[in-house]
Amino acid sequence: MEKLIITAAICGAEVTKEHNPAIPYTVEEIVREARSAMDAGASIIHLHVREDDGTPTQSKSRFKECISAIRNACPHAIIQPSTGGAVGMSNEERLQPVELQPEMATLDCGTVNFGGDEIFVNSENTIIEFAQKMLDLNIKPEIEVFDKGMIDTALRLHKKGLIAAPMHFNFVLGVNGGISATLRDLTFLQGSIPAGSTFTVSGIGRAQFQMAAAAIITGGHVRVGFEDNIYMQKGVLASSNGELVAKAVRLARELGRNVASPAQAREILGLTAK
Ligand code: KMH
Ligand code: ZN
């Protein structure tokens, strides 16, 4: 089986220090968390950034500052900025980090309820605009899938030449409003993507490590990190993203799957370091 790529979603846009005091806001904290994840075995840093007070931002200059500081500390990391940002941001705001021409960026392929009154809006025209921009800038999209129809949308865009093959998907399971974190639904998603594609699995909350184990044994890749889950186990907060990555590495070892280095991850994903 292909080596396992571990992505660390170190920050997110929604979780706060009130949930877990280790959530990073400042550049220094973001670097601390990226380094802990890379040292533990991650290859990809899925990156959201914040103002120093924790407010989520998609500011190009804040991303530039954080990316360059992460690169200094972890020169091999694959840095994958979010173009999802936070609920309610405009397309223009959300797209700013792609102007920095990262190797990868996220491409959210549909609208989803996020619980309560929160709706994460991605109209078809938005998805087309974002896909075209990434194609023009030679950025590999990670196709974010919160529900099965989002795969179908990505496949339609692929047919129109807006997303290149081989495609890379992130199955996010367990968001309130999205597909559930069950083996049945994960299998359904896995069976719905074209041969030759790669996929990562992000289980939300307590499903993080159950879904990670399922991904490890079925040839998928794994995302862990504070964006999706802040606990090591019920009632025990993780002290760092590195702790969560280390648990994914232990699972992989126990299940007989080797973990990819960043160079191996680039090879698997067909990336050329920029
Ligand atoms: N924070 C969510 C609204 C992404 O990174 O592309 C969107 C999100 C997905 O996290
Ligand atoms: Zn994200």
Collect all residues with Cβ–Cβ distance below 8 Å to 32 and sequence separation of at least 6.
24, 240
Nearest atom, ligand 1, residue 227 CA: 10
Given a cut of 80, whether residue 273 has pLDDT beyond it is no
State pTM to two decimals: 0.98
**Ligand 1 pocket, residue 144 CB under 6 Å:** yes
Give the DSSP per-residue string, 107-139: EE-S-EE-STT-EE---HHHHHHHHHHHHHTT-
- Whether the predicted pLDDT of 195 surpasses 90: yes
Whole-angstrom distance, CA of residue 225 vs CA of residue 12: 9
Interval 213-242: pLDDT, tens: 999 999 999 999 999 999 999 999 999 999
**Mean pLDDT of all residues belonging to the chain:** 97
Take atom 9 of ligand 1 and give the residue whose Cα is closest. 84
Band of pLDDT at residue 272, cut at 50, 70 and 90: confident
Among 161, 179, 162, residue whose Cα is nearest residue 170: 179
pLDDT at 274 over 90: no
- The DSSP H or E segment spanning 254 is helix 241-254
- pLDDT > 70 in the chain, percent: 99
State how far the Cα of 141 lies from the Cα of 103, in Å rounded to an integer: 9
Q: To test the ligand 1 pocket, which listed residue (11, 106, 114) has its Cβ within 8 A of the most ligand atoms? A: 106
Ligand 1 atom having least distance to the Cα of 172: 9
The proportion of the chain whose per-residue pLDDT surpasses 90, expressed as a percent, equals 98
Distance 42 CA to ligand 2 centre (A): 16
Compute the distance between CA of residue 83 and CA of residue 78 in angstroms, rounded to an integer: 16
> Residue 100 — very low, low, confident or very high, per pLDDT cuts 50/70/90?
very high
Ligand 1 atom closest to the Cα of residue 114 is: 3
pLDDT at position 247 is 98
